Structure formats: C-alpha cells, structure tokens
Amino acid sequence: MSDPLALLKQRNSAPRLTDPAPGPAELDEIFQAALRAPDHAWLRPWRFLTIGGERRAAFGALLERCLVARNPEADEAARAKARNAPLRAPLVVVAVVTLSEHPKVPHVEQRLSAGCAVQGILLATHALGYAGIWRTGDAAFDRAVMDGLGLGANEEIVGFVYLGTREGDPKPLPELATSDFVSAW
C-alpha cells in the first residue's frame, strides 16, 4: 500500500492467519519501522522475540505448562487451547518492554513506547501486504511465561503479535465520527 494515510486509516487485525509469514528481509523492514516508535530519551525500551516454525510447538508447551501451574483444574480443552495458540499464525513476535530507571522517563512512558513499537510492527506488516493481530491474555501477565521466554526481572510482555497472511475477507471497518472523540478545549 503506497498511500501512507490510507494505510493508517485502514490497518486492521486479522484473527485468522496462515502462510506465508513475512520473510527475513520483510521482517527486517517491519522491525525497522517498530524501532522508529516515539521514545523519550531514546531508551529503546523494547526487544522482540520471533517464534516461527517448529519453535511454536515449544512455545505452546510452555503456555500449557504455565496454564496448568496457574490453574491445576484446567481441563483438556483449555490445555489444548493454550498448547495450540501459537499455531494460529506462522509467526509469533513476542514484544517485550525492558524497563529501566530514568529520572525523566517513568515506566509508564517506557510501556507506551513499546506499545507504539507494536503499532509500528502492525502497520509495516499491513503495508507489506501481510496481516497481524496483537494478543495478550493471562499468559502475557504470567511471570512463569516470561521466565520461560528468558525475560529478565525488569522485563514484561507487551503482546504476542501474530503475523502471517490473512485468511478470509477483511471485516468491514466501522466509521467513527471524529467529533465523538475530539473537542476543542
């Protein structure tokens, strides 16, 4: 998509994703876009883990183990849902915020920056003709999942960003009235 404003206005998420995922050169473009997120003091408070191919099964096993640790009563359906979650797209990007202490940049700003980086990923993915969706859920806030992914004590999961090729038609996008959200003060 060559019109940047149209891209911004039309980006939307795709819950059903299939092959192909963006290739290595395209992923580099996508992450370069993410790295231009607004970032107070240029802390670069983010990093990204890519989980593709067979590694998705290992990630699914981690999600299942952590689900059972959180909820030992989880039935087989819930366990299978967790186990298979990463298989919903050919590529999962775990967006991580790396929090540091800075006199002028509170953690909330660092988390917001990392969120903007995720939006950069989604927009660049859309621009390249692929699709994605930002997901979280209980697993994203589970320290055992973070540990299993190798995150440090100062790091958190911002989202699981599923990337691939959209399956099915895009949904109709609602028209929102600017005036419902914007007023002069």
Residues found near ligand FMN in the complex (CB under 6 A): 12-13, 133-137, 159
Least distance CB 2 / ligand FMN (angstroms)? 21
Closer by beta carbon to ligand FMN, 12 or else 41: 12
Q: Are 45 and 113 in contact (CB under 8 A)?
A: yes
Closer by beta carbon to ligand FMN, 10 or else 28: 10
Least distance CB 91 / ligand FMN (angstroms)? 16
H or E element at residue 10: helix 4-10
Structure tokens at 63: 């999600």
Closer by beta carbon to ligand FMN, 1 or else 23: 1
3-state secondary structure 52-87: ECCHHHHHHHHHHHHHHHHCCCCCHHHHHHHHHHHH
Closer by beta carbon to ligand FMN, 41 or else 74: 74
Closer by beta carbon to ligand FMN, 12 or else 84: 12
Does the N-terminal peptide bond of residue 20 adopt cis geometry, omega within 30 degrees of 0?
yes
Structure tokens at 15: 């819950």
Least distance CB 185 / ligand FMN (angstroms)? 26
User: What counts of helices (H) and strands (E) characterise the chain?
Assistant: 6, 5
Q: How far apart are CA 37 and CA 114, in angstroms?
A: 8
